Amino acid sequence: MAFTFDRAIILGLTEKNPARMIGNVKSKKVKVDFWTLDEFQKVISLLYKGDYYEHYLFISFWLLFMTGMRIGEAAALQWSDIDFETGILSIDKNLYYKSMEEYKFVEPKTQASVRDIVIDADTIKELEEWKEVQQKVLTDCDFVLSYGGIPTSKHTLPRALEKLAELAGVHRIKIHALRHSHASLLISMGENPLIIKERLGHEKIQTTLGTYGHLYPNSNFDVAKKLTGLLTYTPATHSTADYTSNQFTAEYHKQAI
């Protein structure tokens, strides 16, 4: 395919080679673990928001599932990073824990990790509700995912997620798999891989396709369904062109006569 587009450039038919823009996608398939929407709903439904700690767990898991953020990005998230009017959540830092008491902000994983995620109306509502509850307990807390005044630790959420998975009767996943779950959800919604790449903060589209490409199992069938009935025509009732100049068709017409 790349060769074909290269020829098209030479002939002046196009200026760029899209095949080379995409580059090589990893041939080795990466095993991705995730929860389906139904599985996540079973888990999140177990959390009682009337309890302060469970409400903290609720918003933490909800946010990770609905945005695809890395856990370090979510832990570093501050209220000033969220514009509730526009629904834009800005990611420009990661949180690094040296110990349970000592942490610091660090640069994002890649330049592409610095990004804006537009969050849905339901997530905005849940965040506003959590902010109101949190500020009644912590009068001066900048961190979104915090129940004690400091950012959430890397150990708290995984342990709770494991316990909830068992109670919900779903398979256990690691906390990072909520990021994979978000990507899987977007794929099931038919979203463009480029949109998924931007939302997840991948540096290259190859990373997105190499990691999640196999989650498009019915793509060929979906294309076939969309093509069915698309092309319409009125059947010709007689020949309108003379093809007898062609040696084969001329011989064919002689035999037909």
Domains of the chain: which residue ranges?
37-215
The rounded distance, in Å, linking the Cα atoms of 28 and 235 is 48
Query: Token pair for residue 253?
Result: 């017409």
Q: Characterize the bridge pairing of strands 88-91 and 82-83.
A: antiparallel
The rounded distance, in Å, linking the Cα atoms of 208 and 183 is 9
User: Facing residues of 158 across strands?
Assistant: none
**Helices and strands in the chain, H and E counts:** 12, 5
In CATH, what is the architecture of 37-215?
Orthogonal Bundle (1.10)
The answer to whether 73 touches 64, Cβ cutoff 8 Å, is no
- pLDDT tens for each residue of the chain, 257 residues long: 455 555 555 555 566 555 555 455 454 556 789 999 999 999 999 999 999 999 999 999 999 999 999 999 999 999 999 999 999 999 999 998 877 678 888 988 788 999 999 999 999 999 999 999 999 999 899 999 999 999 998 789 999 999 999 999 999 999 999 999 999 999 888 888 899 999 999 889 888 888 888 777 666 777 778 788 888 878 888 877 766 666 665 565 555 55
Report the alpha-carbon angle 101-50-163, nearest 5.
Answer: 60
The answer to whether 75 touches 175, Cβ cutoff 8 Å, is no
pTM of the model: 0.76
